[in-house]
Amino acid sequence: MSELLLDVRGLKTQLSLEAGPVLAVDDVSFSLPPGGTLGVVGESGCGKSLTALSVMRLVPEPPGRVVGGRILFQGEDLLALPEEKMRRKRGRHLSMVFQEPMTSLNPVYTAGEQIAEGVRLHQGLSRSAARELAVEMLRQVGIPAPEQRVDSYPHELSGGMRQRVMIAMALASGPELLIADEPTTALDVTIQAQILDLLKRLQAERRMAVMLITHDLGVVAGHCDAVVVMYAGRVVERAPVKALFRQPAHPYTAGLLRSIPALQTVEGPPGARPRLKTIPGMVPGLHRLPGGCRFRDRCERALDICARVDPPLESKREGQEAACHNPVPAP
């Protein structure tokens, strides 16, 4: 576990917008050991999904392109690979489960055909052997009657089943790293729990690493070893999951934790509901970022220096880093 599977250093991804180019992923660094689970959290638009697409080298060009940094996978810089070699890496060594299975699956091919396509490409299996593997993968991800469902089209499957097909596709070639981008989006609560438990079981069985992108801190608490918190394209906190939930260092992380709904009693008339604590304001547009700290206009701990100096990501307590001039004090 000492050698890193994935080591992202100073990643910068640029988007060309009508208002001009912006860095949607700005100097992002994190690492993941073999078999580990890293949670990447933050509000919508903070750069989580674009970071994942950058690792997979799937950023659409135009409007985006990676303009800086290194992505070391098993010691090899993915950004330096020719496209043909990178294509062989995808699916075989690192795979991704996308947010919305209905738009990610091809509607004119059956579930089995879409699973088999990848394994035939990466493993050189015959058509019949690839179909057998597709049936087995559907069985592993918990789809009932896989011998029949292998011939089903995406529109014939429920949302939960489509997400399971996406997971089967991603895992069919046995990757060392799975990137799961909001894998439970648009699913009801019981199906969400089933999908997350499925990922956890398959990860343990296959000893693979997982990079889990989510806005749900409850999911992070139950499934991750370490956490990266992003805001406006930057990493604002990195920490082991237990340390972060015990005492966050960055005010933004603390605000996210306070905004989690909880079952609790409150003073007031019978039937009164607890009021959720929210972070005031909105995430700034990437072409209208404030000077200094990007979070300062929404921060209750902002100081004068926050308007002048962009805080670096640095150690605030053992194993915990934050980009803040006035971090939340330790208990």
- pLDDT tier at 2 (50, 70, 90 boundaries)? very low
Checking if the pLDDT of 273 tops 70, the result is no
Checking if the pLDDT of 270 tops 70, the result is no
Q: Among 62-66, 69-73, 288-292, which range has the highest average pLDDT?
A: 69-73
Checking if the pLDDT of 266 tops 60, the result is no
- For the beta carbon of residue 118, count every other beta carbon within 10 angstroms: 22
- What CATH number does domain 6-224 carry, 3.40.50.300, 3.40.50.10800, 3.30.450.20, 3.40.50.1000? 3.40.50.300
Domain parsing of the chain, residue ranges: 6-224, 251-322
Q: Which of 59-68, 106-115, 272-281 shows the lowest per-residue confidence on average (mean pLDDT)?
A: 272-281
Query: Tell me: the pLDDT tens digits for 274-296?
Result: 677 788 888 888 888 999 999 99
Q: Taking each helix axis from N to C terminus, what angle separates 189-206 and 159-171, rounded to the nearest 10 degrees?
A: 10
Checking if the pLDDT of 113 tops 90, the result is yes
Query: Tell me: the pLDDT tens digits for 132-190?
Result: 999 999 998 889 999 999 999 999 998 889 988 998 999 888 899 999 998 877 678 88
Size of the chain in residues:
331
pTM of the entire predicted model = 0.89
- Judge residue 27's burial from the number of C-beta atoms within 10 Å of its C-beta, 0-12 exposed, 13-18 middle, 19 or more buried: middle
Task: Round the average pLDDT of the chain to a whole number and report it.
Answer: 89
pLDDT at 240: 96
With a pLDDT cut of 90, the percent of the chain lying above it is 61
